[in-house]
Structure 1
Amino acid sequence: MSGILDPSRVAPAPWRNAAGATRELATGTDASGRVLWRISVADLDRDAPFSTFPGLDRLFVALGPLQLTIDGRQQGLAVGDQARFTGEAPVTVALDTPTRALNVMTRRGACRAEVTLRPATAPRLPADATTTLTVLLDELAADVRLFKEPDD
């Protein structure tokens, strides 16, 4: 599967913890309706805790400068920097100015994700056997590749 995802065409929805807003762009589920992966763009306008998502792993891509605290460890991120953490981890964000972030969540043990950030005018990643979705982010674009984990 491949496609283009445009956050400007999706209305923001409040976070589960009501501390921010997100634009859910695409979700994949298994036969029972359980989320296997989810791609969203968060509008970050104030310091806030993140919602927890047990059983999911998160790939967070900063679209502006910010500070994450993950499990008590601070990490400064610039545009394009990525952080991986579990959905159970206590995470907070601190901001100097409002920004956005790309979030890709994957079901632990079922699939994983990679994100390549590039100028919007640069060519897309070539299609392959994985799912590749491109998220439009103004002057940037993010190519999200989703991989199925092998069954044990």
Structure 2
Amino acid sequence: MHHFDVETLTAGQWLNGGGTTRQIASRPAGDGDFSWRASIADIERDGPFSAFPGVDRTLTLLAGDGVRLTCPGVFDRLLERAGEPFAFSGDLALDAELPGGSCRVLNIMVRRGRTTARVERVTGRVAPPAGRSGVVYVLGGRWQAGTDGPVLAPGRGVWWDEDALAPGGAVVPLSPDASALWADIAPAG
């Protein structure tokens, strides 16, 4: 498993200046034609979201007062509860509005036809399924990745590739207030 701490990931400015992105992982690495990508975005002002044709996205609020995503005639959704995933097509031209100021989100993107993703809030043990990739992001409490892994606090997590021979064991909660987001990323079809 690969460990990460959001605060040590390099932040890159969006082309439209509306925020920054900290990439957790992209597979294949360094390839603009990714099969899947996980990142943390800090949305700093109202404005358009970039379209990603052929990509399915899941956005989950991590911090802040929320973000309203709108696509006229398709949906108008206010993400106001931290840890509640929202899936949508990256083909759509979206606008984002920040009713309470800047916010932080987890962004999982998968290339349609190659991979699928299911993102859920978990409070119990996560055992990486064989042949699948994944990301666990700690929302609250303390967690441990594998039997010898470091203790993970909020803002930290782990990710693994589908071809890992042994993903390193389960990610387990260590405290009663433990909660995390788990993105289970599987090959399509």
Q: TM-score, normalised by structure 1?
A: 0.82
Identity of aligned residues (%): 31
State the Cα distance separating 1:141 from its structure 2 match.
Answer: 3.0
State the Cα distance separating 1:128 from its structure 2 match.
Answer: 1.4
Q: Do structure 1's residue 48 and structure 2's residue 30 form an aligned pair?
A: no
Greater C-alpha radius of gyration: 2
| Counterpart in the other structure of 1:144 | 183
State the Cα distance separating 1:46 from its structure 2 match.
Answer: 1.6
| Counterpart in the other structure of 2:95 | 92
Which moves more between the two structures, 51-60 or 61-70? 61-70
Q: 1:141 to 1:5 in 2, by over 3 A?
A: farther
| Counterpart in the other structure of 1:70 | 71
Unaligned runs of 5+ in 2: 140-153, 156-178
> Are the aligned partners of 1:45 and 1:99 in contact in 2 as well (CA < 8 Å)?
yes
Name the CA distance, whole Å, in 1 between partners of 2:32 and 2:96.
30
Q: TM-score, normalised by structure 2?
A: 0.67
Q: 1:9 to 1:136 in 2, by over 3 A?
A: farther
State the Cα distance separating 1:124 from its structure 2 match.
Answer: 4.0
Name the CA distance, whole Å, in 2 between partners of 1:11 and 1:131.
22
State the Cα distance separating 1:116 from its structure 2 match.
Answer: 2.2
Q: 1:54 to 1:17 in 2, by over 3 A?
A: farther
Unaligned runs of 5+ in 1: none
| Counterpart in the other structure of 2:108 | 104
The secondary structure found in structure 2 opposite 1:8 is helix
Q: Deviations over 1:109-130 (max 9, x none)?
A: 1101111224xxx544112122
How many residue pairs get aligned? The number is: 145
Q: CA RMSD in A?
A: 2.3
| Counterpart in the other structure of 1:128 | 129
